[in-house]
Amino acid sequence: MRVAVISDIHSNAPALEAVLDAVTPYDRLWVLGDIVGYGPDPDAVVERLRAENVVAVAGNHDAAAVGRLSTHTFNDMARAAVEWTADTISDDTRDWLGSLPDQRTEADYTLVHGSPRDPLWEYVFSVSVARASFEILETDRCLVGHTHHQLTFRLDGGDVEGLQASDGARLMLDERPCILNPGSVGQPRDRDPRACAMTIDLDSGQVDWLRVDYPFEVTQRAIRDRGLPRALADRLELGV
Ligand code: ZN
């Protein structure tokens, strides 16, 4: 079974379309949260995902947009966008986002937005956090988003190694436990503006990362038209 894994779409419909085109055909679509926030198209993105029968978990921006999480630790731009999202989304979108779990298990994979220890907030960006995550994981594989970087951590005996993925990177999973991050669809932050995705062949254990061009100027225009903070548009062409 071929699974497409994406994360941090952040209400960027053109980026989502480009990524879905690039990973088709797939049998399942798994989404690791931050479906909304920052971007201009929350209803369109949720509608598209629901049409794909997506399996999803909530991110911190999703939880905040439905009032399940306070925005007091969000920065000003993120808070402004969450408040705009909360005011804008349809009742259907709100109900669906509010129904997403913080964590779920699919096959031998734990799906969370942040980390297994703190699914909404913690970033798996370092070997030390990865090690703490491996200690409490109940599956050999874990999929995370939140950092907006394509990263992998692998437990090898007592050592944790970090691997930076990039466009075209491939990993064959073996018996060593792994934490895999597909990167961000709608707001990459590694100075490459292309949208991120990952695919996993559950039978062979082959993982592929990819980057996809999309018309970010369309998203930028929509961000400005909706009166969202202009810096949220500017950053998309820089990939920061
Ligand atoms: Zn995010």
pTM: predicted TM-score of the whole model, two decimal places: 0.97
Contacts (Cβ under 8 Å, ≥6 apart) of 40: 11, 12, 13, 219, 222, 223, 225, 226, 228
Distance (Å) from CA 8 to ligand 1 centroid: 5
Distance (Å) from CA 16 to ligand 1 centroid: 14
Distance (Å) from CA 185 to ligand 1 centroid: 9
Domains (ranges, CATH) in the chain? Answer: 2-237 (3.60.21.10)
Q: Which residues of the chain have pLDDT under 50?
A: none
What residues form DSSP beta bridges with 80? none
Distance (Å) from CA 7 to ligand 1 centroid: 8
Whether residue 193 has a cis bond before it, omega within 30° of 0: no
pLDDT at 164: 86
pLDDT at 166: 84
* Buried b / exposed e along 5-33 (16+ C-beta atoms within 10 A): bbbbbbbbbbbbbbbbebbeebebbbbbb
Distance (Å) from CA 86 to ligand 1 centroid: 16
pLDDT at 167: 86
Distance (Å) from CA 158 to ligand 1 centroid: 30
Specify the amino acid at residue 132.
A
How many whole angstroms separate alpha carbon 102 and alpha carbon 98?
10
